[in-house]
Structure 1
Amino acid sequence: MEISVETIGFPRVGEARQLKYALEKYWRQQISLEELLNTANSVEEQNWRVQLAAGVDRIGVGDFTLYDHMLDWTMRLGCEPSRFKSIEDDTDRYFAMARGRTGIPAMDMTKWFDTNYHYEVPEIDQDCSPRANFTSFLEEITRAIDALGSQRAVPIVIGPLTYVGLSKLKNVSLSDIVKKLTNVYVELFEHIMKLGVTEVQVHEPILVTSKGLGMLEMIAALYGGDGTRGVLTADDRLAVDLVTYFDGLDERVYRAVCGSNVAAVSMDFTRGDNIAMLETSGFPADKRLGLGAVDGRSIWKFHPDELTQFLKRVDGCFRSGKIPSKISLQPSCSLHHLPYTVEAEVSLKQNEELGLAPVLSFAYEKLSELTAVREGLSKLESSASSDVFCEVRESWEGFYRLNPKKQPVWDRITSITASDLSRPEQFSDRRPKQMTDCHILPTTTIGSFPQTDEIRRLRRRFISGTISKSDYETEIDKQIAYNIGVQEALGIDILVHGEPERTDMVEYFAQKLDGFAFTQNGWVQSYGSRCVRPPIVYSDLTRLHDMTVREFVVAQSLTHKPVKGMLTGPVTILNWSFPRKDISRKDQALQIALCLRDEVSDLERAGCRVVQMDEPALREGMPLKDHKKDVYLQWAVDAFKLSTAVAKAETSVHTHMCYAEFTDCLDAIMALDADVNSIENARSGNETLEAFKKAGYGKDLGPGTYDIHSPVVPAVTDIQQKLQEFLSCMPPEQLVVNPDCGLKTRKWPETIAALRNMVTATHQVKSQLKLEPTT
């Protein structure tokens, strides 16, 4: 067996988030474009050196980005929406598409498959005329060749099926646009060959989704099969590695890619059941098999016993002639979903009582895992045991000894009944009892207000022990008072305390629950310069005390208007954390839900009349195959209801959901039984509202009136127009007015200006409708 090692993507913000800080300085005009690009090149080249030193045979290059790789391909393929084409400079146009510009809204943003990474959604209509714009990409590949050599540097290209399959298409078919793009891809491949490159990775993760079944003819046309050569595989000088990830391939799609003219097929063997496909259908002898055996989305080291069983199945396929002798070991997907290295986690490494660091594996460590897997597969031929496997097994055994099962948690889960998942009254009965002092079209915000430098300094002083907890809380209370005062002055109806005490909507709650661990430098990119540091679920979860009551009481004491109790939902806490792999995601979600259920009860006892349980990650966790969705949505909905059903009928339960395609899970959203659902909608038209209306959504809805991801302050007329569009879909009695997400990343001047315009626009619309003014 000839075993090589390959990577298919790497983290790209820098070990110290150098790219994030450089981007933000560039946007503030504190550094030049040249300085920004120098920082980006430095981070990328360091990535190459690390992979080279780890002995990777073929290194995926060209996946680096200043903001988003899908946005890069929109530029490279010349598919910019027409509203941006008046911006002549490429860099200005690029960032305008990502962040918007006065009078020009940004492109829509949604989650990358079922991950927490956001991509800029391409917008394609019948007037789209793709054109090659590959200069910067080819320069990047040239630098990689200089650093790594033409045989080791393998360009990463987002395939046409995935690019178009993830696009927003208007009055045009997917197949027609793929045909239009084909010549541009052919031109790119010709340029790549001129650089001396002999292989290219074409990433087509769309093929693992249910959409893949509708692409069989296009697979043959592009990559060969059914007697055709394939437009993108017609030149034997450039080998194509067709890369898929995030799930297994459907049998018909598997047969299509195996029957194509590509030189290699790379698949994810950590999700789905691709190994069974190999065992039953075999794999072509003339192709290299890309074995995605190392989980590129998990921060855990491999379990030796599980991996050994998998490798035995692979070895059995080889011995029976079902797979070829050429195998490439690789991560299951790009490693950019992981932090850089465990070596940076000094605190976790020093905490021997937790025993966590020895069983963690981030991007750098995954490279070592690839070597360990190669050793394990090689040792099977001689029936020898791997020393690395033995060491890892000992680490896991020590970890489980230090973190035993918490039986009371499991006893509580097994005692959950149907009544625990139901509100005390139907919506039609409880709605008239809620927020009786708020009139039609009430205004509110999603929860957070700007996290200023002052707040960050205060938090650092508290963490370092420079100030006491009492002094810290006194300063936080001053910030809460300021936030309440701003909202009162603006005339907002349903208030929030602004969350100055919270670093992150997930990390904050994780820090209050026993069973979570935290990194110091475990940053991963969410979008653009936005990085998150997911907590780690390592043990059964329990709530030691209330988590949000003190700050709510402070805020409510300052106003007669209702103040929301702000909570993050169980599915979002789970999906935005690194979960355990030894128990199901469902059980982890239910453990979190029980903790939140107790918090809701405590908030109500403290006088809270509005509880917001945010679930922005509900949709993103949905499986990629249609037949798997119902099971996930059932337990996800149950977890939310377990958290909130304890609320009294008089308590208004709100939720919030971020950018996502909601149309395929509207039944689940309605089943949440939340009284108000606010959605990120400002970058979209009325498609989502129309879908809610068509589905018969009868509860209250808060579509985002303006885009908080852009620094542009929306005009009163723009928000007014949005509201009029909303009212064309739903009656005013059903609508709540709010921004489309939290405001923590914005500055105070733009926040106040935007909210003032939102309130003004709302009053103007209410006046036009002759509605009673808000008190």
Structure 2
Amino acid sequence: MSIQSAALGYPRVGAKREVKKASEAYWAGKISAEELQKVAKEQRLVRWQTLRDQGIDVIPSGDFTLYDHVLDFNYTFNIIPKRFAEAKLSDLDRYFAMGRGHQKDGVDLEAQEMQKWFDSNYHYIKSEVSSHTEFRLNDTKPVDEYLEAKEAGIETRPVLVGPITALLLGKAGRDEANRASFEPISLLDKLVPVYGELLKKLQDAGATEVQIDEPSLVMDSTANLAQQYQATFEALAKAAPGLKITLATYFGRLDKNVEFVAKLPVSALHVDLDRAPEQLDQVLAAVKPTQLKLSLGLVSGRNIWKNDLAASLATAKKAIEALGQDRVVVATSSSLLHTPVTLANESRLSPDVKDWFSFATEKAAEVATLAKALSGADVQAALDANKKSIEARRAFEQNSDASVRDRLSKVSPDMYNRKSPFPERKAAQDKVYDLPTFPTTTIGSFPQTKEIRLARSKNTKGELSTEEYEKFLENEIKSAVDFQEAIDIDILVHGEPERNDMSQYFGEQLQGFVFTENAWVQSYGSRYVRPPIIVSDVSRPHPMTVRWSSYAQSLTKRPMKGMLTGPVTILNWSFPRADVSKEVQCKQLALALRDEVCDLAKAGIFAIQVDEPAIREGLPLRQVDWDAYLTWAVDSFKLSTAGEMKDRLAAFMKALPDQKYIFVNPDCGLKTRGWKEVKEALTNMVEVAKWARKEYA
């Protein structure tokens, strides 16, 4: 009997970012809605055909989206806040307005909140629900796309966000009277019947199975979780009795939840054995007495490394021995949307290094190879090639930089602490800077204008010499300094015109990273990033920021602030190594940044900001795992560093009445803003600081 191969999802962008480009062209008014939908339909077909051609048996449908799959869920089930529902917009524009806002033709709508999808770098649009929410089928997108694939001759398994996960990730809407105490999960009984209607429509359309994603099962349990899942899936099974349900979990381990999950009325359970391989024995013990099929998430949907097929085969054989061949499926660990589309578009990577990688298309082929091998097909050539790649990567001499390892081994507890307590440092700093109360500054980056991006692109292509490019950057920095002095900012920044990305910029100058041309990964909506890849031990061969901060300081008598991205953020916004712990990689980054801090200080830059926006998103999904992460995350930071504004200031004064500890600055960098917006906002900010000095004198 043949073992089936399955993919839980696939990137949406297109191999050449076709969907991103079409969406942005539509928003700019350059193409019609019909033209956008034509591109979307073409790309859906390409995705299905690609997975089929790679040998995948169970191909997903419905996971494609023009913006976000959770937003699709909200729109399908009529979870549309009143401000959007009442706006005079087309269905497509209403959908986009919910995700990105809408300011056009007299309509001014703020987008819904965006949040990280579990511990990934993908962002979803948070549902807004209330006791007034009326669930109904607002559209039938999952059915439509299933039929679209069927018409193309491709049988698929529709993918849906699970009803419990969808509500647990939601928030109280603006029209909810008891927003502070309202729990979206309280609406589960109202949502489930409508969810069942959708399953019935899929069944009537000819679908034989459906994938329901419930990644919330790998998080800490909430009250009544087992009862909620039991009641929900009993109702769904009755709504569409001819539809086989695969309950998909990913990003972590089920732990004790597996005890009730194994008893749910579903046909198959999917578990992530890439992020949580330790759960296999517990899962097998729970599943064995049942009739459940077990879908093994063996090929990572989160990293870019080739799968160790020999190790995966051993894991799969263990499951087959326990359950029988007819009850095992091999699959990706999660949707592949967190990986780039294909290695085929990477021409500049070293062939040796490129051979270590596997993107979405290649990962699909790996899953198919595993299924074929387990089914008795002759795939020895593929297994031999994989073994050669895995061994070459392990033997890579740069994987072990003796000097980096030696330095890391000598890190002592005192290196995590500053040499003097804060009050002493503050007194010394006050003597140097003589700052007013409520000193003003900015977070660092100023607008990355079209001119800056064009100059960077020309320099990369060799159309603008290094000398010309650096002169251009100096002019941009001077403009930023002049502007800040003109509006009376106290601690200045140089504006970071030289930086393409707050993580990539540092990775490009550190030993141990490689970069791609087209390995785009979705962050949110049409925002795609190319994460750096850590391939070996990390070190700093030369100063990275001193040249530009020093130049900026030479232009002013006011203090200039050095700007660094912290080690945890660089790590979390990169594809990390799989052969070394994140703790080791983070501390290597911390030592490199420690050297940069020292060089900035030697150059006379005494105010240094280290940004760690990603420290929260790296938290493990289960609280029991937090301490270990926070210990090395905070240690790494220490190692590297050893309503309205008036209302906000007033709130800060209540919590922290000592004025000398409060700085006034924006909440984030200004790279993505326009200069008009920045000038107005910062000028207003300075005026608020001056008001506060009088108000709290």
* Shared fold, TM over 0.5: yes
> In structure 2, what is the equivalent of residue 262 of structure 1?
266
Letter of the 1:332 partner, please give it: S
Q: Tell me the distance in 1 between the aligned counterparts of 2:379 and 2:332.
A: 23
1:743 aligns with 2:651: no
Q: Residues 146, 513 of structure 1: CA spacing in aligned structure 2 closer, same or farther, 3 A cutoff?
A: same
> In structure 1, what is the equivalent of residue 57 of structure 2?
57
Q: Tell me the distance in 2 between the aligned counterparts of 1:79 and 1:440.
A: 46
Q: Tell me the distance in 2 between the aligned counterparts of 1:763 and 1:308.
A: 67
> In structure 1, what is the equivalent of residue 176 of structure 2?
none
Residue by residue over 1:49-107, the C-alpha shift from the partner in whole angstroms, topping out at 9 and shown as x without a partner, is 21122222221111122222212222222223334333142333333332335665432
Q: Tell me the distance in 2 between the aligned counterparts of 1:258 and 1:359.
A: 36
Q: More displaced, 111-120 or 443-452?
A: 443-452
1:211 aligns with 2:221: yes
Q: Tell me the distance in 1 between the aligned counterparts of 2:684 and 2:394.
A: 55
1:140 aligns with 2:150: no
> In structure 1, what is the equivalent of residue 292 of structure 2?
287
Q: Residues 305, 186 of structure 1: CA spacing in aligned structure 2 closer, same or farther, 3 A cutoff?
A: closer
Q: Which runs of 5+ in 1 are unaligned?
A: 225-229, 646-684, 686-717
| Contact residue 316 and residue 330 of structure 2 kept, 8 A | no
1:422 corresponds to which of 417, 427, 434: 417
Q: More displaced, 531-540 or 67-76?
A: 67-76
Superposed counterparts of 1:40-439, under 5 Å: 40-89=40-89, 90-101=91-102, 104-149=109-154, 152-169=155-172, 170=179, 171-211=181-221, 214-224=224-234, 230-251=235-256, 253-272=257-276, 273-283=278-288, 285-317=290-322, 322=323, 325-348=326-349, 351-352=350-351, 355-379=352-376, 386-404=380-398, 405-434=400-429, 436-439=433-436
Q: Residues 136, 174 of structure 1: CA spacing in aligned structure 2 closer, same or farther, 3 A cutoff?
A: closer
For residue 281 of structure 1, give the secondary structure of its aligned residue in structure 2. helix
Letter of the 1:41 partner, please give it: K
> Residue 214 of structure 1: CA displacement?
4.8
> Residue 466 of structure 1: CA displacement?
3.0
Letter of the 1:422 partner, please give it: N
Q: More displaced, 175-184 or 292-301?
A: 175-184
Q: Residues 77, 735 of structure 1: CA spacing in aligned structure 2 closer, same or farther, 3 A cutoff?
A: farther
> In structure 2, what is the equivalent of residue 527 of structure 1?
524
> Residue 285 of structure 1: CA displacement?
4.8
Q: Residues 724, 66 of structure 1: CA spacing in aligned structure 2 closer, same or farther, 3 A cutoff?
A: farther
Letter of the 1:409 partner, please give it: V
> Residue 499 of structure 1: CA displacement?
1.2
> Residue 213 of structure 1: CA displacement?
7.1
Residue by residue over 1:89-146, the C-alpha shift from the partner in whole angstroms, topping out at 9 and shown as x without a partner, is 2333333332335665432222111111111222333333323212444433332232
Letter of the 2:408 partner, please give it: I
| Contact residue 497 and residue 552 of structure 1 kept, 8 A | yes
Letter of the 1:745 partner, please give it: T
Q: More displaced, 752-761 or 178-187?
A: 752-761
Residue by residue over 1:229-284, the C-alpha shift from the partner in whole angstroms, topping out at 9 and shown as x without a partner, is x3445431122111110011123x21212111111111111122231224433435
Letter of the 2:170 partner, please give it: S
Residue by residue over 1:730-749, the C-alpha shift from the partner in whole angstroms, topping out at 9 and shown as x without a partner, is 54724433333222222323
The percent identity for this pair of structures is 41
> Residue 190 of structure 1: CA displacement?
2.3
Q: Tell me the distance in 1 between the aligned counterparts of 2:85 and 2:655.
A: 31
Q: Tell me the distance in 2 between the aligned counterparts of 1:505 and 1:344.
A: 25
Normalising by structure 2, we get a TM-score of 0.92
Q: Residues 93, 731 of structure 1: CA spacing in aligned structure 2 closer, same or farther, 3 A cutoff?
A: farther
Q: Which runs of 5+ in 2 are unaligned?
A: 173-178
> Residue 31 of structure 1: CA displacement?
2.5
Letter of the 2:159 partner, please give it: I
Q: Tell me the distance in 2 between the aligned counterparts of 1:207 and 1:723.
A: 40
| Contact residue 4 and residue 57 of structure 1 kept, 8 A | yes
Letter of the 1:739 partner, please give it: P
> Residue 762 of structure 1: CA displacement?
4.4
> Residue 20 of structure 1: CA displacement?
2.0
Residue by residue over 1:4-37, the C-alpha shift from the partner in whole angstroms, topping out at 9 and shown as x without a partner, is 1121111111212222222223232232222222
1:442 aligns with 2:439: yes
1:25 aligns with 2:9: no
Q: More displaced, 88-97 or 613-622?
A: 88-97
Q: Tell me the distance in 2 between the aligned counterparts of 1:145 and 1:759.
A: 60
Normalising by structure 1, we get a TM-score of 0.83
Superposed counterparts of 1:310-709, under 5 Å: 310-317=315-322, 322=323, 325-348=326-349, 351-352=350-351, 355-379=352-376, 386-404=380-398, 405-434=400-429, 436-645=433-642
Q: More displaced, 544-553 or 53-62?
A: 53-62
Residue by residue over 1:293-312, the C-alpha shift from the partner in whole angstroms, topping out at 9 and shown as x without a partner, is 11111100012443343234
Residue by residue over 1:589-608, the C-alpha shift from the partner in whole angstroms, topping out at 9 and shown as x without a partner, is 11111100000000011111
Q: Tell me the distance in 1 between the aligned counterparts of 2:70 and 2:284.
A: 34
Residue by residue over 1:492-543, the C-alpha shift from the partner in whole angstroms, topping out at 9 and shown as x without a partner, is 3322211111111111111111111110101101111111101111111111
Q: Residues 438, 92 of structure 1: CA spacing in aligned structure 2 closer, same or farther, 3 A cutoff?
A: farther
Q: Tell me the distance in 1 between the aligned counterparts of 2:559 and 2:193.
A: 59
> In structure 2, what is the equivalent of residue 668 of structure 1?
none
2:686 corresponds to which of 747, 759, 765: 759
Letter of the 2:233 partner, please give it: Y
| Contact residue 159 and residue 202 of structure 1 kept, 8 A | yes
Equivalent pairs counted in the alignment come to 680
Q: Residues 486, 529 of structure 1: CA spacing in aligned structure 2 closer, same or farther, 3 A cutoff?
A: farther
Letter of the 1:516 partner, please give it: F
Q: Tell me the distance in 2 between the aligned counterparts of 1:206 and 1:458.
A: 45
Residue by residue over 1:176-229, the C-alpha shift from the partner in whole angstroms, topping out at 9 and shown as x without a partner, is 2111211221221222223222211110000011136751110110113xxxxx
For residue 46 of structure 2, give the secondary structure of its aligned residue in structure 1. helix
Q: Tell me the distance in 2 between the aligned counterparts of 1:749 and 1:630.
A: 44
Q: Residues 160, 147 of structure 1: CA spacing in aligned structure 2 closer, same or farther, 3 A cutoff?
A: same
Q: Tell me the distance in 2 between the aligned counterparts of 1:181 and 1:87.
A: 24
> Residue 434 of structure 1: CA displacement?
3.3
For residue 23 of structure 1, give the secondary structure of its aligned residue in structure 2. helix
C-alpha RMSD over aligned residues: 2.4
Residue by residue over 1:704-759, the C-alpha shift from the partner in whole angstroms, topping out at 9 and shown as x without a partner, is xxxxxxxxxxxxxx555555555565547244333332222223233333333433
Q: Tell me the distance in 2 between the aligned counterparts of 1:11 and 1:566.
A: 34
Q: Tell me the distance in 2 between the aligned counterparts of 1:98 and 1:725.
A: 30
Q: Residues 33, 14 of structure 1: CA spacing in aligned structure 2 closer, same or farther, 3 A cutoff?
A: same
| Contact residue 75 and residue 138 of structure 2 kept, 8 A | yes
Q: Tell me the distance in 2 between the aligned counterparts of 1:419 and 1:614.
A: 22
For residue 574 of structure 1, give the secondary structure of its aligned residue in structure 2. helix
For residue 293 of structure 1, give the secondary structure of its aligned residue in structure 2. strand
Q: Residues 101, 279 of structure 1: CA spacing in aligned structure 2 closer, same or farther, 3 A cutoff?
A: closer
> Residue 431 of structure 1: CA displacement?
2.9
| Contact residue 477 and residue 497 of structure 2 kept, 8 A | yes
Residue by residue over 1:326-359, the C-alpha shift from the partner in whole angstroms, topping out at 9 and shown as x without a partner, is 32221000100000111111011xx24xx11111
Q: Tell me the distance in 1 between the aligned counterparts of 2:158 and 2:523.
A: 23
